[in-house]
Structure 1
Amino acid sequence: MTPGGVAYCANDQDLLTWVHMTEVLSFLDAWIRYTEPAMTMADQDRYFVEMAAVAERLGVDEAPRSRTEVLQRIGAMRSQLRADARSREVAALILRPPRPSLDGVPLALVQCAAVDLLPGWARRLHRLTGSGPARPLVASGTLTLARTLRWALC
């Protein structure tokens, strides 16, 4: 039940599709920003086709198969999106500042990078601010962290 009293089901097609689209787009945008800035649109669309097959196995009836289709469908849903006390509570939990220590720096970088990856309209909806003038430092630090993790895991 939503705060407005509207019943919903977690396997509702619109909800499943929304989660799939936003998750896949977010992962791809992070990959492009921190790994492959020159990724072609053809390669991006191939990724959406591959991920659509996964989504359909998980119950999504008609997963989008291109960046253009994803952006159009997200745009069509924007008027239905709301930020409320529950969404702010979840965001506050996820974005809670880490303890002031060196081991909190990687988490703080990832949190800032995640907010920076949100479209401006989504940041405004949730009253989040990007890293602004510090964005190059956040991007550089996140890239360094990603490369270090990749090196450590290989």
Structure 2
Amino acid sequence: VHLAETTCFLDAWIRYAEPGMSVADQDRYFAEMAQIAEALGANPIPRSRSGARQLFGAVRPQLRSDERTREVARIVLVQPAPSVLAEPLQVIAMQAAIDLLPAWARHMHGLHIPIIGRALVRAGTLGIARTLRWAFE
């Protein structure tokens, strides 16, 4: 869980906020997140971007999609929005989360976004991200 969460959060930051983030800064992020993982008892813990890639490669053959994982995906991806106004934002956020998954993970879980849909999701999410950053400045 720590590996997936850390990697996806960083990938989202790179895609929607800082596309030119240096590898050194990415490695620093993993090192800082490792402290949290240690405190929570996670093991093994990647401490760099390359360490995360290696760990994914090592654990990937053990990963599976089954009824339990499909149920978790349904709970996360299909929960009702807190309001009618929030519904479009929630839909695009869930699509953006799916888009951030590696292709092999999307395929494993039967999650698909058509190529034209990916472009729309990325453009919409980038617009929302920029608006939120502007609103909180």
- Normalising by structure 1, we get a TM-score of 0.79
Partner in structure 1 of residue 113 of structure 2:
130
Question: Deviation digits for residues 71-126 of structure 1, max 9, x if unmatched?
Answer: 11111111111111121122122222868x65421111111110000001101110
Whichever residue aligns with residue 63 of structure 1, its letter is I
Matched, 1:111 2:86: no
Partner in structure 2 of residue 78 of structure 1:
60
**Regions of 4+ moved over 3 Å:** none
Partner in structure 1 of residue 5 of structure 2:
23
Matched, 1:58 2:43: no
Partner in structure 2 of residue 88 of structure 1:
70
Shift of 1:24: 0.6
Provide the C-alpha distance between the structure 1 equivalents of 2:119 and 2:79, rounded to a whole number of angstroms: 20
In the alignment, is the contact (CA less than 8 A) between 1:55 and 1:63 conserved in 2? yes
In the alignment, is the contact (CA less than 8 A) between 1:56 and 1:62 conserved in 2? no
Give the number of aligned pairs. Answer: 135
Question: Deviation digits for residues 52-84 of structure 1, max 9, x if unmatched?
Answer: 122112223552111111111111111111111
Q: Flag the structure with larger Rg.
A: 1
Unmatched 5+ residue regions in structure 2? none
Identity, in percent, stands at 53
In the alignment, is the contact (CA less than 8 A) between 1:21 and 1:64 conserved in 2? yes
Matched, 1:146 2:129: yes
| 1:121 counterpart (94, 104, 110) | 104
Whichever residue aligns with residue 124 of structure 1, its letter is H
- Normalising by structure 2, we get a TM-score of 0.88
